[in-house]
Amino acid sequence: MVVEQQLEFKFQTEWIREYARAWSPMEAGFTYAPEVLRRANVFIVDLRNLLRNGVVTYDEKLDGPGALWIVEGDDGDGNLIVAEIVVISEELDVTVRSVRRVVY
């Protein structure tokens, strides 16, 4: 199923990976609530690794500008992280709505 999802959301996966390679966590086009990361025990470095190497597994156009994407992938240490992000590609804007670390 992951292979099908990779093909279905190939453009979105490529877009978020390129975005993550180019942004700095301090840039205005990237927002997140620190308490969301703390609650999930996820660090900004984990999130950056997820966005650089993860796969978009869900994409839904929002009523307003942008789309809701779910990104799944590795935190860099082999742990699975799932993030829900809102992407406004025209503005190069990404907002993290939620994130969770999956523990087996």
Q: Which domain holds residue 57?
A: 2-102
Give mean pLDDT, residues 93-103: 93
Give the whole-angstrom CA distance, residue 6 versus residue 50.
Answer: 15
pLDDT tens per residue across span 26-74: 666 888 999 999 999 999 999 989 999 999 999 999 999 999 999 999 8
Averaged confidence pLDDT in the chain = 88
Domain count within the chain? 1
Nearest partner of 92 among 19, 31, 26, judged by Cα: 19
Percent of the chain with pLDDT over 90: 63
pLDDT for 30 equals 87
Classify burial at 24, counting beta carbons within 10 Å of its beta carbon; exposed 0-12, middle 13-18, buried 19 or more.
exposed
pLDDT for 76 equals 77
Q: Is the pLDDT of residue 3 over 80?
A: no
